[in-house]
Structure 1
């Protein structure tokens, strides 16, 4: 009898174990699912104790994960590839975005002379952080026009208000950003779209295929020893993705904190409506997606050059398949 009680206590303790998830900019629409899942109550429905924390750059979030300060990160899938090259076993267990959901935005006063990424020679490109997904994507897009990384400068400008300030203060000519910041910049007349990676069509045209981006990734050792928790997280997030695909932008926005609207709920709903097609419906890694990501990263990530990357170890559909 005592052994049975002890067993139940162990299960209860495991169920109550806090899971810290760091999100690479929690108010970005590309990272909508975590806060939406929390507010709908899907984590609680699974018996999970989840704490969401925000970091503006995914490269900072991955460092927290490796240090053991978090159990999971919501960031770009490409970090799994980068970290494998560094000898770290990280895997994406749920894919949220089939495309980056971003845009390269050009300052309005510079738009006449910068009509594509080949025109940023001698200019400054704003990225969320050096070594970030935004940096690799920007470098790849510029390389398609024959530019070398030495032909332009890169400046880490973060996201949201700090990015907007960098454009208004003319510290950068072009910057990588996501909704709702892209809509704020366009509505305010501060910037125009240079490259659109927010749609499937635009991403395929710019990158040659789907580019799985926002995802939930964990250390493989954690997933192997916490399969129950990983399964519950996957189930909560698959339900969230299904909610996104079965509800209107207005209904989804109503579940989000009012301060995410930036004082303009109508603009937030508009940005959300534009973003809906980028979300996966089932959380699975799209066919060919990892290969596109590796192609983009290979030319500009010194960690990857000359190394064999086993893409099959950078993600798993095991948990989302069971979530169905």
Structure 2
């Protein structure tokens, strides 16, 4: 039996494809949908990088990302069955355990919330303290989202209840910018690049800034995990290899971001993310970068911090006995870091 050069090449190609084939076969689910609330935000930048640089595909995944107005809407998509995984705020896992629908976070994107609460200098020119927000309209990405949670927390520290203000959903993009500039809201809790755009144009005065790690820990009294991938516990139980593949891609994205400069980010993200101003986008990235996770790991005290923040504005939750170890796991992240020590 003789082998031609063509046989050798075909055989070599088949052999090279075997590892990928084996990987694809090991995945319980290759096609899946991730729901996110405000995909253009730096809060979710690792998700976009994993998508744009092909990290999901490299893991054998065919991922569809569906964007919603805020994190609470993204969560509803998974609860309703139209998405498999949420790219959203960590604290939703605590709320869902309290509601008897266990969700577990399995790879971190943000080491701090990156949420900024600021006031509108047009409608509140004489603003002196958070107490001045009583009776005012506060814009949030969507009611019930992490931007709403931060606003509630800051209000509570000033002796105000959520019912003392009116919350308005303004999204996480140009709509939020327009609402602030038009004076439709008196304050806003939102994220970059929206915040940098408004502060540079003089349309927002910052009150609380959790893009700064030190200020975030001071506000919340400990490490406050932010954006992450989380899913219903049954999904993780049934699809551990798929969850591992997702964690692998996200850890690679986290590590790429840590090495990236402003120019790298501009090339990697869709043009629509820039909100018409590349310089502002780069400034926003540099402001948010320190608050992004280095390796996808959840801090040991993070769940306790998040619980305290939620409990401060919800008496029923505060009285609940929850298993905070069940709302996150670092098991997938440990394996991902072993596979991609340098990204």
TM-score normalised to the size of structure 2? 0.87
Q: 1:141 aligns with which of 146, 154, 172?
A: 154
Q: 1:97 aligns with which of 110, 114, 118?
A: 110
TM-score normalised to the size of structure 1? 0.92
**Secondary structure of the residue that 1:158 maps to in structure 2?**
coil
Stretch moving more, 34-43 or 303-312: 303-312
Q: Which residues in structure 2 correspond to 1:173-192 (within 5 Å)?
A: 173-192=186-205
Stretch moving more, 191-200 or 104-113: 104-113
Q: 1:69 aligns with which of 66, 82, 94?
A: 82
**Secondary structure of the residue that 2:119 maps to in structure 1?**
strand
Name 2:269's counterpart in structure 1.
Answer: 256
Stretch moving more, 42-51 or 111-120: 111-120
Name 1:5's counterpart in structure 2.
Answer: none
Contact 1:40 1:255 in 2 (8 A): yes
How far 1:248 sits from its partner (Å)?
1.4
Name 2:65's counterpart in structure 1.
Answer: 52
Please identify the structure whose Cα radius of gyration is greater: 2
Name 1:4's counterpart in structure 2.
Answer: none
Task: Return the alpha-carbon distance in structure 2 between the equivalents of residues 204 and 14 of structure 1.
Answer: 38
Deviations 1:155-193 (A, max 9, x none): 222222222222223222110010000111112221121
Contact 2:33 2:66 in 1 (8 A): yes
CA RMSD in angstroms, aligned pairs only:
1.9
Q: 1:208 aligns with which of 196, 201, 221?
A: 221
Contact 1:85 1:303 in 2 (8 A): no
Q: Which residues in structure 2 correspond to 1:1-150 (within 5 Å)?
A: 12=25, 14=27, 17-150=30-163
**Secondary structure of the residue that 2:63 maps to in structure 1?**
strand
Contact 2:110 2:227 in 1 (8 A): yes
Q: Which residues in structure 2 correspond to 1:267-278 (within 5 Å)?
A: 267-278=280-291
How far 1:13 sits from its partner (Å)?
9.0
Name 1:301's counterpart in structure 2.
Answer: 314
Task: Return the alpha-carbon distance in structure 1 between the equivalents of residues 257 and 58 of structure 2.
Answer: 18
Task: Return the alpha-carbon distance in structure 2 between the equivalents of residues 13 and 211 of structure 1.
Answer: 34
How far 1:113 sits from its partner (Å)?
2.3
How far 1:16 sits from its partner (Å)?
6.4
Name 1:228's counterpart in structure 2.
Answer: 241
Name 2:324's counterpart in structure 1.
Answer: 311
How far 1:39 sits from its partner (Å)?
1.1
Contact 2:120 2:203 in 1 (8 A): yes
Contact 1:15 1:48 in 2 (8 A): no
Deviations 1:86-127 (A, max 9, x none): 101100001111111111021122454223322212222222
Consecutive unaligned residues of structure 1, counting only runs of 5 or more, are 1-7
Q: In structure 2, do the counterparts of structure 1 residues 168 and 247 end up closer, same or farther at CA, with 3 Å as the change threshold?
A: closer
Task: Return the alpha-carbon distance in structure 2 between the equivalents of residues 262 and 281 of structure 1.
Answer: 26
Give the total of aligned pairs: 317
Deviations 1:19-63 (A, max 9, x none): 101111110111111111111111111111111110121111111
Stretch moving more, 73-82 or 300-309: 300-309
Deviations 1:231-280 (A, max 9, x none): 11101110111101122122122111112112211211111111110111
Contact 2:29 2:239 in 1 (8 A): no
**Secondary structure of the residue that 1:136 maps to in structure 2?**
helix
How far 1:11 sits from its partner (Å)?
6.1
Task: Return the alpha-carbon distance in structure 2 between the equivalents of residues 215 and 180 of structure 1.
Answer: 19
Deviations 1:200-241 (A, max 9, x none): 011122222221110100111111111111111101110111
